[in-house]
Amino acid sequence: MTKYFSSELLAEVSAEDVGEYPLPFEPEIVVRVQSVPMARMRQYQEAVKKGGAVAAAAEKALIRDSIINPDNSPVYTKDTAETMLKGRSRLIGALIQMISTHNGGEDKVVEDAEKKSDPIL
């Protein structure tokens, strides 16, 4: 059934949502991504433009805010994010890609994971 975006559906459509995505380099592992407010994504994007330590800190903070356990608690705390995400560019890149995709509405992450999990003939 087709629904039209309307004032009656505004609360439902605007509600914070959670998506589940396969980890691109380990498709059997599902990552839960919680949406973040638009202002939070803008803050992250501005920090990335500055680069360096500011961008790295912004990535870790965005991951802390977005990646959640099955019970909706954060996977990373401030302390665990500092130690567990240090130097792990493949994991950080994958998590940031999933967060960006989830907050932007593209489903490219799922397609990429499926391509990477296809056996090579």
pLDDT in tens, 77-88: 888 877 887 767
Q: Homologous superfamily of 18-104 in CATH?
A: Phage tail assembly chaperone gp13-like (3.30.2220.20)
The structural domains of the chain, with segments of one domain joined by +, span: 18-104
Per-residue pLDDT reduced to its tens digit, 55-79: 888 988 999 999 999 998 999 988 8
The model's pTM is: 0.73
Q: What's phi and psi for 13, nearest 5 deg?
A: -75, -35
The pLDDT > 90 percentage for the chain reads 39
Average pLDDT over the chain reads 82
In this prediction, residues 95-120 reach a mean pLDDT of 63
Which residue is associated with the tokens 């996977």?
A: 75
